[in-house]
Structure 1
């Protein structure tokens, strides 16, 4: 178990995934978190979704729609180990940033996302 103490604060990062791998990647990250393998380093993963009402075959149904297909957001402390662990999950294409190098999302980016998607079920909490 890597229970590493760090002075660095966790930040949100965007990760690009293969098409329709968002939930699989999130589940794998959740497993890593639950196992405590990277306690205090990898804290949370989110796939922003929004509930929509659709009509299929004459029936009204509520479905969750991915707001940013092919992206997962992870709150983590970026270290060499955490970079490697996330990057090597099956279905991960890479981190969002120049030359696929991770760049933390700014509070402005997170706030903009929340404002645009006020009814999202999985938004990125700024202070959490």
Structure 2
């Protein structure tokens, strides 16, 4: 095969992949907290080894950069224990992903051989994108400890900035030393506690 034929084949393969991507959907997999990056790399390797590029198209760990207690930038996983995967759900891909080391299952599957439900378009846009762009890794300005929050324990708050902007949840814990609230937000049909800085929260009016 000459170079011209190879170029034509590459174009055909690229067009075919783009067409296949139209049938892919976003799913959420569970993994052990703290092992997200390792599972991510294992999934990438499995895609290469098993030649699944025409069935699994993207894998994401949603992260943001915050300022730690030393006021230095630090990357934080927004959804600990969760990895997002864009794929065509088949018996093969379902099996291969589930049997990747560190993966404990798919969100939205009741078990007993029932395949998981994909994320809705609204969930994809809220969790992965902002105006069709990937969530920006922008530092969240740490609130001065002397500033008072406008909410208390068990209040409902609206998150006004950061990667979780637009979500609402109930305050489960308060850390006035760090200026961080633990907010219970409904993700994937279950209540998930996430840490959000006071400056990013606003009390929901009753």
Task: Tell me: CA distance 1:120–1:103, structure 2 relative to 1, closer, same or farther (3 Å).
Answer: farther
Partner of 1:83: 94
In 2, Cα distance between equivalents of 1:39 and 1:84: 16
CA-to-aligned-CA distance 1:58-78 (integer Å, 9 cap, x gap): xx3211100000000000101
- The DSSP-based 3-state class of the residue aligned with 1:74 is strand
- The DSSP-based 3-state class of the residue aligned with 1:104 is coil
Partner of 2:136: 119
> Which structure is higher in RCO with an 8 Å CA cutoff and minimum separation 6?
1
Displacement of 1:112 after TM fit? 2.1
Q: RMSD value over aligned CA atoms?
A: 2.8
For structure 1, the 5+ residue unaligned runs are 124-128
Match of 1:25 among 34, 39, 46: 39
- 2:115 counterpart of 1:104: no
Partner of 1:16: 30
- 2:48 counterpart of 1:48: no
Partner of 1:64: 75
- 2:39 counterpart of 1:39: no
| C-alpha contact 1:16 1:95 (8 A) present in aligned 2 | yes
The number of residues matched between the two structures is: 116
Partner of 1:126: none
For structure 2, the 5+ residue unaligned runs are 1-16, 139-162, 164-206
Task: Tell me: CA distance 1:118–1:82, structure 2 relative to 1, closer, same or farther (3 Å).
Answer: closer
In 1, Cα distance between equivalents of 2:85 and 2:67: 28
Displacement of 1:118 after TM fit? 4.8
Displacement of 1:34 after TM fit? 3.6
For the pair shown, the structure with the greater C-alpha radius of gyration is 2
Task: Tell me: CA distance 1:45–1:80, structure 2 relative to 1, closer, same or farther (3 Å).
Answer: same
CA-to-aligned-CA distance 1:65-96 (integer Å, 9 cap, x gap): 00000000000101111001100111111000
Farther-moved stretch of structure 1 (68-77 vs 37-46): 37-46
